[in-house]
Amino acid sequence: MIPRYSRPEITAIWEDEFKYNTWLQVEVAVIQAWADHGEVPRKDADLIAQHAKVNIDDINKYIAETHHDVTAFMRSVADSLGPESRWVHLGLTSSDVWDTATSLQMMAAADVLLGQLAKLREVVGRQALTHKDTICVGRTHGVHAEPTTFGLKLAVWVDELKRHEERLKQARATIAVGQMSGPVGTHATVPPAVEEAACKHLGIAVAPVTNQIIQRDRHAAYVSAIAGIGSSMEKFATEIRGLQRTEILEAEEPFTAGQTGSSSMPHKRNPELCERVCGLSRTLRGYAVMALEDVALWHERDISHSSTERIVLPDATGLLAYMLHIFTGVMDGLVVYPERMTFNLERTQGLVFSQKVLLALIESGMSREDAYKIVQRHSMAAWDQQTPFRGLLESDPEVTTRLDKAVLDKVFDYRAYLVHIDSSFQRIGLL
Protein backbone atom coordinates (compact mmCIF):
# COMPACT_ATOMS: atom_id res chain seq x y z
CA MET A 1 0.00 0.00 0.00
CA ILE A 2 1.28 3.47 -0.82
CA PRO A 3 2.52 5.38 2.26
CA ARG A 4 -0.36 7.89 2.13
CA TYR A 5 -2.90 5.19 2.98
CA SER A 6 -0.75 2.95 5.18
CA ARG A 7 -1.01 2.07 8.85
CA PRO A 8 2.22 0.70 10.36
CA GLU A 9 0.48 -1.97 12.42
CA ILE A 10 -0.90 -3.57 9.24
CA THR A 11 2.06 -2.83 6.97
CA ALA A 12 4.34 -4.74 9.34
CA ILE A 13 2.23 -7.90 8.99
CA TRP A 14 2.71 -8.04 5.22
CA GLU A 15 6.36 -7.02 5.01
CA ASP A 16 8.88 -9.66 3.93
CA GLU A 17 10.45 -9.96 7.36
CA PHE A 18 7.13 -10.89 9.02
CA LYS A 19 6.11 -13.12 6.12
CA TYR A 20 9.30 -15.16 5.98
CA ASN A 21 9.50 -15.48 9.74
CA THR A 22 5.91 -16.75 9.70
CA TRP A 23 6.94 -19.29 7.05
CA LEU A 24 9.74 -20.32 9.37
CA GLN A 25 7.27 -20.60 12.24
CA VAL A 26 5.25 -23.04 10.14
CA GLU A 27 8.31 -25.07 9.17
CA VAL A 28 9.43 -25.31 12.80
CA ALA A 29 5.94 -26.40 13.89
CA VAL A 30 5.97 -29.21 11.32
CA ILE A 31 9.42 -30.35 12.41
CA GLN A 32 8.28 -30.37 16.04
CA ALA A 33 5.28 -32.44 14.97
CA TRP A 34 7.53 -34.90 13.16
CA ALA A 35 9.66 -35.14 16.32
CA ASP A 36 6.53 -35.70 18.44
CA HIS A 37 5.84 -38.73 16.26
CA GLY A 38 9.41 -40.04 16.40
CA GLU A 39 10.25 -39.41 12.74
CA VAL A 40 12.78 -36.62 13.38
CA PRO A 41 15.35 -36.78 16.19
CA ARG A 42 14.28 -34.51 19.03
CA LYS A 43 17.80 -33.10 19.25
CA ASP A 44 17.67 -31.99 15.61
CA ALA A 45 14.17 -30.54 16.00
CA ASP A 46 15.30 -28.52 19.00
CA LEU A 47 18.41 -27.28 17.19
CA ILE A 48 16.23 -26.09 14.31
CA ALA A 49 13.79 -24.38 16.68
CA GLN A 50 16.67 -22.61 18.45
CA HIS A 51 18.88 -21.62 15.54
CA ALA A 52 16.88 -21.46 12.31
CA LYS A 53 16.82 -17.97 10.87
CA VAL A 54 16.10 -16.18 7.62
CA ASN A 55 18.09 -13.46 5.92
CA ILE A 56 15.92 -11.26 3.71
CA ASP A 57 18.82 -10.06 1.56
CA ASP A 58 19.94 -13.61 0.92
CA ILE A 59 16.40 -14.70 0.07
CA ASN A 60 16.10 -11.94 -2.50
CA LYS A 61 19.46 -12.92 -3.97
CA TYR A 62 18.40 -16.56 -4.19
CA ILE A 63 15.05 -15.62 -5.75
CA ALA A 64 16.91 -13.92 -8.58
CA GLU A 65 18.54 -17.30 -9.24
CA THR A 66 15.72 -19.78 -8.49
CA HIS A 67 12.69 -17.67 -9.46
CA HIS A 68 10.89 -19.43 -6.60
CA ASP A 69 10.14 -17.81 -3.23
CA VAL A 70 9.94 -21.00 -1.17
CA THR A 71 13.10 -22.66 -2.43
CA ALA A 72 14.97 -19.40 -1.90
CA PHE A 73 13.55 -19.21 1.62
CA MET A 74 14.59 -22.81 2.37
CA ARG A 75 18.11 -22.12 1.15
CA SER A 76 18.37 -19.16 3.49
CA VAL A 77 17.12 -21.26 6.42
CA ALA A 78 19.67 -23.97 5.58
CA ASP A 79 22.43 -21.36 5.70
CA SER A 80 21.65 -20.82 9.40
CA LEU A 81 21.78 -24.51 10.29
CA GLY A 82 24.04 -27.53 10.11
CA PRO A 83 23.24 -31.08 8.99
CA GLU A 84 19.89 -30.89 10.78
CA SER A 85 18.66 -28.63 7.97
CA ARG A 86 17.76 -31.75 6.01
CA TRP A 87 14.56 -32.01 8.06
CA VAL A 88 13.28 -28.59 6.99
CA HIS A 89 10.29 -28.88 4.64
CA LEU A 90 10.12 -32.64 5.16
CA GLY A 91 7.16 -34.00 3.17
CA LEU A 92 5.77 -30.53 2.48
CA THR A 93 4.90 -28.68 -0.69
CA SER A 94 5.16 -24.92 -1.06
CA SER A 95 1.46 -24.27 -0.51
CA ASP A 96 1.54 -26.07 2.84
CA VAL A 97 3.88 -23.39 4.12
CA TRP A 98 2.59 -20.43 2.14
CA ASP A 99 -1.10 -20.96 2.75
CA THR A 100 -0.75 -21.78 6.43
CA ALA A 101 1.47 -18.75 6.99
CA THR A 102 -0.94 -16.56 5.03
CA SER A 103 -3.72 -17.70 7.34
CA LEU A 104 -1.63 -16.58 10.30
CA GLN A 105 -1.01 -13.21 8.66
CA MET A 106 -4.69 -12.76 7.90
CA MET A 107 -5.55 -13.62 11.50
CA ALA A 108 -3.05 -11.04 12.77
CA ALA A 109 -4.50 -8.40 10.46
CA ALA A 110 -8.03 -9.28 11.56
CA ASP A 111 -7.04 -8.78 15.18
CA VAL A 112 -5.83 -5.26 14.40
CA LEU A 113 -9.01 -4.47 12.47
CA LEU A 114 -11.24 -5.84 15.22
CA GLY A 115 -9.54 -3.56 17.73
CA GLN A 116 -10.10 -0.58 15.45
CA LEU A 117 -13.73 -1.53 14.84
CA ALA A 118 -14.37 -1.70 18.56
CA LYS A 119 -12.79 1.73 19.04
CA LEU A 120 -14.91 3.26 16.27
CA ARG A 121 -18.04 1.69 17.73
CA GLU A 122 -17.21 3.16 21.15
CA VAL A 123 -16.66 6.64 19.70
CA VAL A 124 -19.88 6.55 17.67
CA GLY A 125 -21.72 5.21 20.70
CA ARG A 126 -20.49 8.10 22.82
CA GLN A 127 -21.70 10.61 20.23
CA ALA A 128 -25.02 8.77 19.98
CA LEU A 129 -25.57 9.13 23.72
CA THR A 130 -24.54 12.78 23.66
CA HIS A 131 -27.12 13.52 20.97
CA LYS A 132 -29.76 10.98 21.96
CA ASP A 133 -32.34 13.76 22.38
CA THR A 134 -30.96 16.20 19.80
CA ILE A 135 -33.98 16.70 17.53
CA CYS A 136 -33.36 16.87 13.80
CA VAL A 137 -35.39 16.19 10.70
CA GLY A 138 -35.45 12.71 9.27
CA ARG A 139 -35.11 12.57 5.51
CA THR A 140 -36.36 9.98 3.07
CA HIS A 141 -35.48 10.32 -0.61
CA GLY A 142 -33.53 13.39 0.53
CA VAL A 143 -36.81 15.09 1.47
CA HIS A 144 -38.01 16.08 4.95
CA ALA A 145 -40.05 13.26 6.47
CA GLU A 146 -40.58 13.35 10.26
CA PRO A 147 -38.52 14.42 13.25
CA THR A 148 -35.92 12.05 14.60
CA THR A 149 -32.82 12.57 16.72
CA PHE A 150 -29.22 12.78 15.66
CA GLY A 151 -28.39 10.25 18.36
CA LEU A 152 -30.81 7.71 16.90
CA LYS A 153 -29.15 8.15 13.52
CA LEU A 154 -25.81 7.28 15.13
CA ALA A 155 -27.27 4.43 17.18
CA VAL A 156 -28.15 2.74 13.90
CA TRP A 157 -24.46 2.92 13.00
CA VAL A 158 -23.43 1.44 16.36
CA ASP A 159 -25.61 -1.61 15.80
CA GLU A 160 -24.28 -1.98 12.26
CA LEU A 161 -20.69 -1.86 13.49
CA LYS A 162 -21.50 -4.58 16.03
CA ARG A 163 -22.74 -6.80 13.23
CA HIS A 164 -19.56 -6.16 11.27
CA GLU A 165 -17.47 -7.13 14.29
CA GLU A 166 -19.27 -10.46 14.39
CA ARG A 167 -18.82 -10.96 10.64
CA LEU A 168 -15.11 -10.22 10.85
CA LYS A 169 -14.73 -12.57 13.81
CA GLN A 170 -16.44 -15.27 11.76
CA ALA A 171 -14.20 -14.51 8.78
CA ARG A 172 -11.16 -14.77 11.05
CA ALA A 173 -12.38 -18.13 12.32
CA THR A 174 -12.95 -19.29 8.74
CA ILE A 175 -9.38 -18.51 7.76
CA ALA A 176 -7.79 -19.76 11.02
CA VAL A 177 -6.82 -23.11 9.51
CA GLY A 178 -3.64 -24.71 8.29
CA GLN A 179 -2.69 -27.55 5.99
CA MET A 180 0.29 -29.84 5.74
CA SER A 181 -1.15 -32.40 3.35
CA GLY A 182 1.66 -32.53 0.78
CA PRO A 183 1.35 -32.45 -3.01
CA VAL A 184 -2.31 -32.50 -4.17
CA GLY A 185 -3.48 -33.05 -0.60
CA THR A 186 -3.26 -36.84 -0.33
CA HIS A 187 -1.12 -36.90 2.84
CA ALA A 188 1.17 -39.35 1.05
CA THR A 189 4.23 -37.55 2.45
CA VAL A 190 2.79 -36.02 5.62
CA PRO A 191 0.46 -38.16 7.75
CA PRO A 192 -2.71 -36.45 9.05
CA ALA A 193 -1.44 -36.92 12.62
CA VAL A 194 1.63 -34.78 11.86
CA GLU A 195 -0.58 -32.12 10.24
CA GLU A 196 -2.81 -32.06 13.30
CA ALA A 197 0.12 -31.78 15.70
CA ALA A 198 1.73 -29.00 13.65
CA CYS A 199 -1.50 -26.99 13.57
CA LYS A 200 -1.85 -27.48 17.32
CA HIS A 201 1.65 -26.05 17.76
CA LEU A 202 0.53 -23.02 15.70
CA GLY A 203 -2.75 -22.59 17.59
CA ILE A 204 -4.98 -23.06 14.55
CA ALA A 205 -7.45 -25.65 13.32
CA VAL A 206 -6.78 -28.16 10.56
CA ALA A 207 -8.48 -27.61 7.22
CA PRO A 208 -10.50 -30.86 7.20
CA VAL A 209 -9.81 -31.74 3.59
CA THR A 210 -7.62 -30.01 1.02
CA ASN A 211 -6.09 -30.53 -2.37
CA GLN A 212 -2.80 -28.68 -2.71
CA ILE A 213 -4.13 -25.44 -1.27
CA ILE A 214 -6.43 -24.08 1.39
CA GLN A 215 -9.63 -23.42 -0.53
CA ARG A 216 -10.13 -19.82 -1.56
CA ASP A 217 -13.77 -19.52 -0.56
CA ARG A 218 -12.27 -18.86 2.89
CA HIS A 219 -10.20 -15.96 1.62
CA ALA A 220 -13.15 -14.62 -0.39
CA ALA A 221 -15.32 -14.59 2.74
CA TYR A 222 -12.58 -12.71 4.59
CA VAL A 223 -12.13 -10.03 1.94
CA SER A 224 -15.90 -9.76 1.47
CA ALA A 225 -16.26 -9.07 5.20
CA ILE A 226 -13.69 -6.30 4.85
CA ALA A 227 -15.52 -4.86 1.84
CA GLY A 228 -18.77 -4.96 3.79
CA ILE A 229 -17.25 -2.89 6.57
CA GLY A 230 -15.98 -0.43 3.98
CA SER A 231 -19.44 -0.14 2.44
CA SER A 232 -20.99 0.74 5.77
CA MET A 233 -18.26 3.28 6.39
CA GLU A 234 -19.07 4.82 3.03
CA LYS A 235 -22.70 5.04 4.14
CA PHE A 236 -21.69 6.80 7.37
CA ALA A 237 -19.30 9.14 5.58
CA THR A 238 -21.90 9.94 2.90
CA GLU A 239 -24.35 11.00 5.61
CA ILE A 240 -21.81 13.39 7.10
CA ARG A 241 -20.99 14.74 3.66
CA GLY A 242 -24.68 15.40 3.07
CA LEU A 243 -25.14 17.08 6.44
CA GLN A 244 -22.06 19.26 5.81
CA ARG A 245 -23.52 20.81 2.66
CA THR A 246 -23.76 24.58 3.03
CA GLU A 247 -27.55 24.54 2.60
CA ILE A 248 -27.90 22.00 5.44
CA LEU A 249 -24.82 22.33 7.71
CA GLU A 250 -26.10 20.27 10.60
CA ALA A 251 -22.77 18.51 11.19
CA GLU A 252 -19.27 18.60 9.75
CA GLU A 253 -16.01 16.78 10.07
CA PRO A 254 -13.34 18.54 12.16
CA PHE A 255 -11.28 21.27 10.51
CA THR A 256 -7.97 21.94 12.25
CA ALA A 257 -6.02 25.16 12.63
CA GLY A 258 -3.90 25.79 9.56
CA GLN A 259 -5.85 23.37 7.39
CA THR A 260 -6.90 24.55 3.93
CA GLY A 261 -9.82 23.37 1.87
CA SER A 262 -8.96 24.86 -1.51
CA SER A 263 -5.95 26.26 -3.30
CA SER A 264 -8.08 29.07 -4.73
CA MET A 265 -10.97 29.64 -2.28
CA PRO A 266 -9.80 30.37 1.27
CA HIS A 267 -13.29 29.98 2.73
CA LYS A 268 -13.62 26.30 1.85
CA ARG A 269 -14.12 23.67 4.57
CA ASN A 270 -14.65 20.46 2.66
CA PRO A 271 -15.57 16.98 3.97
CA GLU A 272 -12.41 15.62 2.41
CA LEU A 273 -11.79 12.86 4.95
CA CYS A 274 -15.29 11.49 4.47
CA GLU A 275 -14.86 11.74 0.72
CA ARG A 276 -11.62 9.79 1.04
CA VAL A 277 -13.42 7.05 2.98
CA CYS A 278 -16.05 6.85 0.23
CA GLY A 279 -13.47 6.55 -2.53
CA LEU A 280 -11.41 3.89 -0.76
CA SER A 281 -14.54 1.88 -0.01
CA ARG A 282 -15.03 1.45 -3.76
CA THR A 283 -11.52 0.01 -3.96
CA LEU A 284 -12.37 -2.52 -1.24
CA ARG A 285 -15.40 -3.71 -3.16
CA GLY A 286 -13.18 -4.21 -6.18
CA TYR A 287 -10.84 -6.33 -4.09
CA ALA A 288 -13.81 -8.44 -2.95
CA VAL A 289 -14.56 -9.20 -6.60
CA MET A 290 -10.93 -10.22 -7.14
CA ALA A 291 -11.04 -12.52 -4.11
CA LEU A 292 -14.21 -14.14 -5.39
CA GLU A 293 -12.55 -14.66 -8.78
CA ASP A 294 -9.78 -16.61 -7.02
CA VAL A 295 -12.17 -19.30 -5.78
CA ALA A 296 -12.25 -21.11 -9.13
CA LEU A 297 -8.84 -22.66 -9.84
CA TRP A 298 -7.79 -25.46 -12.18
CA HIS A 299 -7.93 -29.02 -10.83
CA GLU A 300 -5.98 -29.47 -7.56
CA ARG A 301 -4.48 -25.98 -7.87
CA ASP A 302 -3.01 -23.40 -10.14
CA ILE A 303 -1.16 -20.22 -9.31
CA SER A 304 -3.47 -17.62 -10.81
CA HIS A 305 -4.67 -16.64 -7.32
CA SER A 306 -1.18 -15.95 -6.03
CA SER A 307 -0.50 -12.77 -7.96
CA THR A 308 -3.80 -11.14 -6.99
CA GLU A 309 -3.50 -12.13 -3.32
CA ARG A 310 -0.10 -10.47 -3.08
CA ILE A 311 -2.00 -7.25 -3.80
CA VAL A 312 -5.46 -7.85 -2.39
CA LEU A 313 -4.69 -9.17 1.10
CA PRO A 314 -2.18 -6.50 2.16
CA ASP A 315 -4.07 -3.69 0.45
CA ALA A 316 -7.57 -4.64 1.62
CA THR A 317 -6.54 -5.02 5.25
CA GLY A 318 -4.32 -1.95 5.04
CA LEU A 319 -6.93 0.27 3.43
CA LEU A 320 -9.58 -0.70 5.94
CA ALA A 321 -7.20 -0.03 8.82
CA TYR A 322 -6.51 3.42 7.36
CA MET A 323 -10.20 4.13 6.80
CA LEU A 324 -11.07 3.09 10.35
CA HIS A 325 -8.29 5.27 11.68
CA ILE A 326 -9.32 8.47 9.91
CA PHE A 327 -13.07 7.96 10.33
CA THR A 328 -12.66 7.34 14.06
CA GLY A 329 -10.94 10.72 14.16
CA VAL A 330 -13.81 12.28 12.23
CA MET A 331 -16.39 10.89 14.63
CA ASP A 332 -14.35 11.76 17.70
CA GLY A 333 -14.06 15.40 16.61
CA LEU A 334 -17.41 15.67 14.82
CA VAL A 335 -18.88 19.18 14.96
CA VAL A 336 -22.65 19.14 15.49
CA TYR A 337 -24.99 22.14 15.14
CA PRO A 338 -28.25 21.50 17.08
CA GLU A 339 -29.51 25.02 16.39
CA ARG A 340 -29.14 24.48 12.68
CA MET A 341 -30.99 21.19 13.01
CA THR A 342 -33.89 23.01 14.62
CA PHE A 343 -33.81 25.70 11.95
CA ASN A 344 -33.93 23.13 9.16
CA LEU A 345 -36.66 21.20 10.93
CA GLU A 346 -38.87 24.26 10.94
CA ARG A 347 -38.22 25.31 7.35
CA THR A 348 -41.20 23.32 6.08
CA GLN A 349 -43.71 25.26 8.18
CA GLY A 350 -44.67 22.28 10.33
CA LEU A 351 -45.27 19.80 7.52
CA VAL A 352 -43.28 17.17 9.42
CA PHE A 353 -46.34 16.78 11.69
CA SER A 354 -48.65 15.74 8.85
CA GLN A 355 -48.84 12.10 9.92
CA LYS A 356 -49.66 13.07 13.50
CA VAL A 357 -52.52 15.21 12.21
CA LEU A 358 -53.69 12.37 9.97
CA LEU A 359 -53.72 9.94 12.89
CA ALA A 360 -55.52 12.41 15.16
CA LEU A 361 -58.29 12.89 12.59
CA ILE A 362 -58.63 9.12 12.16
CA GLU A 363 -58.82 8.68 15.93
CA SER A 364 -61.57 11.34 15.99
CA GLY A 365 -63.71 9.10 13.79
CA MET A 366 -62.93 10.36 10.30
CA SER A 367 -62.19 7.82 7.56
CA ARG A 368 -58.54 7.47 6.59
CA GLU A 369 -59.29 8.46 2.99
CA ASP A 370 -61.08 11.68 3.97
CA ALA A 371 -58.46 12.55 6.57
CA TYR A 372 -55.64 11.96 4.10
CA LYS A 373 -57.22 14.28 1.51
CA ILE A 374 -57.66 17.08 4.06
CA VAL A 375 -54.14 16.81 5.41
CA GLN A 376 -52.58 16.55 1.96
CA ARG A 377 -54.54 19.57 0.70
CA HIS A 378 -53.30 21.75 3.54
CA SER A 379 -49.79 20.32 3.31
CA MET A 380 -49.53 21.28 -0.36
CA ALA A 381 -50.89 24.75 0.37
CA ALA A 382 -48.40 25.26 3.20
CA TRP A 383 -45.58 24.17 0.90
CA ASP A 384 -46.63 26.23 -2.10
CA GLN A 385 -47.52 29.37 -0.12
CA GLN A 386 -44.84 29.04 2.55
CA THR A 387 -47.58 29.32 5.14
CA PRO A 388 -47.59 27.64 8.57
CA PHE A 389 -49.29 24.26 8.29
CA ARG A 390 -50.98 24.60 11.67
CA GLY A 391 -52.54 27.92 10.74
CA LEU A 392 -54.19 26.38 7.68
CA LEU A 393 -55.57 23.54 9.79
CA GLU A 394 -56.95 25.93 12.38
CA SER A 395 -58.84 27.83 9.66
CA ASP A 396 -60.59 24.68 8.46
CA PRO A 397 -63.86 23.80 10.28
CA GLU A 398 -63.53 20.16 9.14
CA VAL A 399 -60.43 20.00 11.31
CA THR A 400 -61.31 22.27 14.24
CA THR A 401 -64.65 20.56 14.87
CA ARG A 402 -62.67 17.39 15.58
CA LEU A 403 -59.34 18.62 16.92
CA ASP A 404 -59.33 21.36 19.59
CA LYS A 405 -56.32 23.45 20.57
CA ALA A 406 -55.18 21.00 23.25
CA VAL A 407 -55.09 18.16 20.75
CA LEU A 408 -53.24 20.27 18.19
CA ASP A 409 -50.73 21.35 20.84
CA LYS A 410 -50.04 17.71 21.52
CA VAL A 411 -49.81 16.89 17.81
CA PHE A 412 -47.37 19.74 17.12
CA ASP A 413 -44.93 18.79 19.88
CA TYR A 414 -41.48 17.53 18.98
CA ARG A 415 -41.22 15.74 22.30
CA ALA A 416 -43.79 13.23 21.08
CA TYR A 417 -41.08 11.80 18.84
CA LEU A 418 -38.77 11.08 21.79
CA VAL A 419 -41.10 8.82 23.77
CA HIS A 420 -39.54 5.55 22.65
CA ILE A 421 -36.02 6.66 21.69
CA ASP A 422 -34.55 5.12 24.83
CA SER A 423 -35.83 1.66 23.92
CA SER A 424 -33.66 1.53 20.80
CA PHE A 425 -30.60 2.53 22.81
CA GLN A 426 -31.40 -0.11 25.40
CA ARG A 427 -31.72 -2.83 22.77
CA ILE A 428 -28.15 -2.27 21.57
CA GLY A 429 -26.68 -1.83 25.04
CA LEU A 430 -26.06 1.92 24.98
CA LEU A 431 -28.39 2.48 27.96
Domain boundary (342, 369, 394) is at 342
Q: Identify the CATH number of the domain in which residue 382 sits.
A: 1.10.40.30
Mean pLDDT, residues 28-33 taken together: 97
234 with 357, same domain: the answer is no
The span from the CA of 5 to the CA of 326, in Å, is: 10
- Identify the residue with better confidence: 268 or 238: 238
SS3 breakdown of the chain: % helix, strand, coil, rounded to 5?
70, 5, 30
Q: Specify the range with the lowest mean pLDDT, choosing from 100-109, 204-213, 250-259, 320-329.
A: 250-259
Kindly list the catalytic residues: 141, 262
Residue-level pLDDT at 1: 72
Residue-level pLDDT at 8: 95
Q: Tell me the angle at which helices 42-51 and 16-36 cross, rounded to the nearest 10 degrees.
A: 170
Mean pLDDT, residues 65-82 taken together: 94
Does the pLDDT at position 262 exceed 70? no
237 with 366, same domain: the answer is no
Give a yes or no: residue 423 inside a domain.
no
355 with 235, same domain: the answer is no
Mean pLDDT, residues 75-88 taken together: 95
Mean pLDDT, residues 386-392 taken together: 93
Report the relative pairing of strands 251-252 and 205-206 from DSSP bridges. Answer: unpaired
pTM: 0.93
- Give the N- to C-terminal CA distance of the chain in Å, as an integer: 40
Residue-level pLDDT at 2: 83
Domain boundary (321, 342, 363) is at 342
Give a yes or no: residue 315 inside a domain.
yes
Residue-level pLDDT at 260: 74
pLDDT in tens, 107-134: 999 999 999 999 999 999 999 999 999 9
The span from the CA of 113 to the CA of 120, in Å, is: 10
50 with 163, same domain: the answer is yes
Nearest to 33 by CA among 172, 179, 212, 210: 179
Mean pLDDT, residues 63-81 taken together: 94
Give a yes or no: residue 20 inside a domain.
yes
Domain boundary (342, 368, 398) is at 342
336 with 396, same domain: the answer is no
Residue-level pLDDT at 235: 98
Residue-level pLDDT at 30: 98
pLDDT in tens, 226-256: 999 999 999 999 999 999 999 999 999 988 7
Give a yes or no: residue 431 inside a domain.
no
242 with 367, same domain: the answer is no
Range of the domain at 227: 3-255+265-342
pLDDT more than 90, % of the chain: 92
CB 275 within 8 A of CB 252: no
State residue 131 phi and psi, 5-degree precision: -110, 25
297 with 374, same domain: the answer is no
Structural domain count of the chain:
2
Q: Give me Rg for the CA atoms of the chain.
A: 30
Give a yes or no: residue 425 inside a domain.
no
Residue-level pLDDT at 267: 78
Residue-level pLDDT at 167: 98
CB 192 within 8 A of CB 178: no
Mean pLDDT of the chain: 95
Residue-level pLDDT at 399: 93
366 with 321, same domain: the answer is no
Does the pLDDT at position 259 exceed 80? no
368 with 405, same domain: the answer is yes
Give a yes or no: residue 163 inside a domain.
yes
Does the pLDDT at position 257 exceed 80? no
338 with 367, same domain: the answer is no
Residue-level pLDDT at 382: 93
Q: Identify the CATH number of the domain in which residue 181 sits.
A: 1.20.200.10
155 with 109, same domain: the answer is yes
Give a yes or no: residue 417 inside a domain.
no
Mean pLDDT, residues 33-50 taken together: 96
Residue-level pLDDT at 29: 97
328 with 355, same domain: the answer is no
Give a yes or no: residue 422 inside a domain.
no
pLDDT more than 70, % of the chain: 99
Does the pLDDT at position 330 exceed 70? yes
Mean pLDDT, residues 210-222 taken together: 96
Q: Which residues contact 131 (CB under 8 A, 6 or more apart)?
A: 149, 150, 151, 154, 336, 338
CB 29 within 8 A of CB 104: no
pLDDT in tens, 187-212: 999 999 999 999 999 999 999 999 99
